[in-house]
Chain A
Amino acid sequence: MKFGVIRFPGTCDDTDAQLAAQRVGDAEILWHRDRDLKGVDAVVIPGGFSYGDYLRTGAIARFAPVMESVTEFAHAGGLVLGICNGFQILCEAGLLPGALLVNDNLRFVFRQVTLEVADRDTPFTRNCPPTLQIPVKHTSGRYYSPEPVQVVLRYAPGQNPNGSQDDIAGIINNAGNVFGLMPHPEHAVDALTGSTDGLTIFESIRAAVAERVPVA
């Protein structure tokens, strides 16, 4: 299978996301001004500071040409994974509900956290163990939604790093094909850096794609 990893000006985790995806399949970079998704089976919107996070995190990136194609891809059922800034972009784009606000402690948080996988019946978590050790690194990760949402990942009790509502770390859309999370699975794929749990998310996607009818 082939992953497409989107690169905006200001994206900084694209290379790690590509390297992580390449542990389970092919992965190529998709440029933000390019509308061609190059036939990828799944899209990864990686972390960073797209367009300098001007105005609000993700607010400008969602108008990039590539996001038109990603929106069509998502509406056709294609798998889309948004990590950190990618999660913020998906919320701004309306592909996921809610918003990500500045951390309640106003600090940049950077630490390994334990996550509880609240829903293992998704294309993104089917190969995950019940808990994951994955790092977070963000300043705007406080999830908020006035409506109930489909929670996939929660920070373990006492580990909420940002004041997120109901300890939410990751959510999925109602159709079950767009997943956003604040922690960084692409930074947890090598034992050298403390955990390989992030790999199980990429493996889940590979397994889900193998079973799916290709998206046009």
Chain B
Amino acid sequence: MRARVLIRPKAGILDPQGQAVERALPALGFSGVANVHVGRLVELDVQDSTQLEAMCERLLANPLVEDYEIIESA
């Protein structure tokens, strides 16, 4: 099974990368942009998708400072 894990900074934790992108877009003429956050995408093939959550908790994300979202596809 193919899976995608989206990892993003937890709400309330300063995300300077998101802020930098948010400032850069208007400088290029793109207006009306807000709440930009920059995270990571991990794509992987797994035989047992029930292990994905444990993988996220133990390695792929740092649950103290990051939220993760598992998206499974066929």
Q: What chain A residues lie within 8 Å of B60 (beta carbons)?
A: 55
* A56 close to B13 (CB less than 8 A): no
Known interface pairs A99-B65, A101-B65; A55-B59 also in contact (CB < 8 Å): yes
* A106 close to B62 (CB less than 8 A): no
A interface residue count range (under 10 / 10 to 19 / 20 to 34 / 35 or more):
10 to 19
Q: Which of A6-61 contact B (CB under 8 A)?
A: 55-56, 59
Residue of B nearest to A107 (CB): B16
Q: What chain A residues lie within 8 Å of B14 (beta carbons)?
A: 101, 104, 142, 163
B interface residue count range (under 10 / 10 to 19 / 20 to 34 / 35 or more):
10 to 19
* A99 close to B16 (CB less than 8 A): no
Q: What chain B residues lie within 8 Å of A92 (beta carbons)?
A: 62
Q: What chain A residues lie within 8 Å of B17 (beta carbons)?
A: 102, 106
* A105 close to B16 (CB less than 8 A): yes
Known interface pairs A55-B59, A59-B59; A103-B16 also in contact (CB < 8 Å): yes
A99 to B62, CA, bound (A): 8
A54-71 vs B, CB cutoff 8 Å, 1 = contact: the mask equals 011001000100000000
Task: Out of B20, B40, B59, B64, name the residue touching A99 (CB < 8 Å).
Answer: B64
A88-111 vs B, CB cutoff 8 Å, 1 = contact: the mask equals 000010000011011111100000
A99-B65, A103-B16, A106-B20 known, 9 other contacts, Cβ within 8 Å: A56-B62, A59-B62, A99-B64, A102-B16, A104-B14, A104-B16, A105-B16, A146-B64, A163-B14
- Chain A interface (Cβ within 8 Å of chain B)? 55-56, 59, 63, 92, 98-99, 101-106, 142, 144, 146, 163
Query: Which 6 pairs across A and B sit closest by C-beta, in order of nearness?
Result: A99-B65, A106-B16, A99-B64, A104-B16, A99-B62, A106-B20
